[in-house]
Amino acid sequence: MADPLIPRPAATVTLVRDAPGGFEVLMMQRNFKSVFMPGMHVFPGGAVDPHDGSPDIAALCAGLDDADASRKLGVSRGGLAYWVAAIRESFEEAGILLACDGKGDMVMLDDAIRAERFHSYRRRVEHGEHPLSEMLRDEGLQLPLQQITYFSHWITPVGAPRRYDTRFFVAEAPQAQQPLHDNRETINHVWVRPAEALSLHKAKKFDMRTPTIHTLRLFAEHDSVASLVRRLQALGDIPVIEPRIARNGRRVLPGDPEYDAAGTESGRGAF
């Protein structure tokens, strides 16, 4: 049984696309019946699975190997699994597959028959009936990891019922694919400009957690996907951000006046 005090490795992917007057980010709304973050608007993501770091899947990755991925994350080994997990979770939760063919072209799902075939794959991958690596081999696809940028690192506060050590990535969504929530873990999805999402949150119409808000504030400083990605690719060392729970229940970040005094062994909730 996993130790609840040890955060579980996880990956989150922010899918973005250019739109008139700026760019949009894809957000999913979690089921109100979920034990973890019910009703929250989130980016696709989840825990890293053992298969995400298997040799089978590593052989199907392009543009990045485990040594380079691990160096970017500041770990000794196993870094590639986070990139793979980000792609797998995007496919499972949002129906967006970040994969390319042998020519480097992103997979297109705008044909009804092809879309239905991959929808079937999605269900089987999600339920562990068909490994992602088998689907990729069956379809002659690879994972273009060079198109996915790592930019942030958060660890859930001590005391939360579920703790995650989460790496955040950004990727441009393929043009010939449409997101589709699964009506199980997620009940809705929306493309939204970062500034608009923040305004909706302020108006209490868009419930979000601290890392999501922090990410959207960063994104709101840019007016195109290219500008955002250039900024994120230019980042140096990525610091780990570990929120704490203050005595009044408020989540505080490093640099906040209450941070040093906030207990690290109490509090409930994620991030």
What percent of the chain stands above pLDDT 70? 90
Stretch 46-66: mean pLDDT: 96
* β-bridge pairing 149-155 and 240-241: parallel
Angle, CA 74 vertex, CA 71 and CA 80 arms, to 5°: 55
CATH number of the domain that residue 119 is part of: 3.90.79.10
pLDDT at 81 over 80: yes
Tell me how far apart the alpha carbons of residues 60 and 44 are, in angstroms, rounded to a whole number: 22
Q: pLDDT tens across 114-151, in order?
A: 999 999 999 999 888 989 999 999 999 999 999 999 99
Q: pLDDT tens across 210-252, in order?
A: 999 999 999 999 999 999 999 999 999 999 998 887 777 777 7
Does 125 reside within a domain? yes
Task: List the one residue out of 84, 66, 86, 85 whose CA is nearest residue 76.
Answer: 66
Tell me how far apart the alpha carbons of residues 192 and 24 are, in angstroms, rounded to a whole number: 5
> Would you say the pTM of this structure is higher than 0.85?
yes
- What is the model's pLDDT at position 253? 80
Does 142 reside within a domain? yes
- What is the model's pLDDT at position 5? 67
Q: How would residue 76 be classed by pLDDT, with cut points 50, 70 and 90?
A: very high
- For the chain, the average pLDDT equals 89
Q: How would residue 271 be classed by pLDDT, with cut points 50, 70 and 90?
A: low
Does 30 reside within a domain? yes
Does 231 reside within a domain? yes
Does 269 reside within a domain? no
pLDDT at 269 over 80: no
- What is the model's pLDDT at position 84? 98
- What is the model's pLDDT at position 34? 64
pLDDT at 1 over 60: no
* Long-range residue pairs from 121-126, CB within 8 A, at least 24 positions apart, any chain: 122/91, 122/92, 122/95, 125/88, 125/91, 125/92, 126/92, 126/182
Number of domains in the chain: 1
What percent of the chain stands above pLDDT 90? 69
Does 135 reside within a domain? yes
Q: How would residue 268 be classed by pLDDT, with cut points 50, 70 and 90?
A: very low
- Domain with 187, as residue range(s), is 8-252
Does 45 reside within a domain? yes
Does 173 reside within a domain? yes
Name beta bridge partners: 9.
165
Task: Check residues 212 and 186 and name the one with the higher pLDDT.
Answer: 212
pLDDT at 256 over 80: no
Task: Check residues 17 and 252 and name the one with the higher pLDDT.
Answer: 17
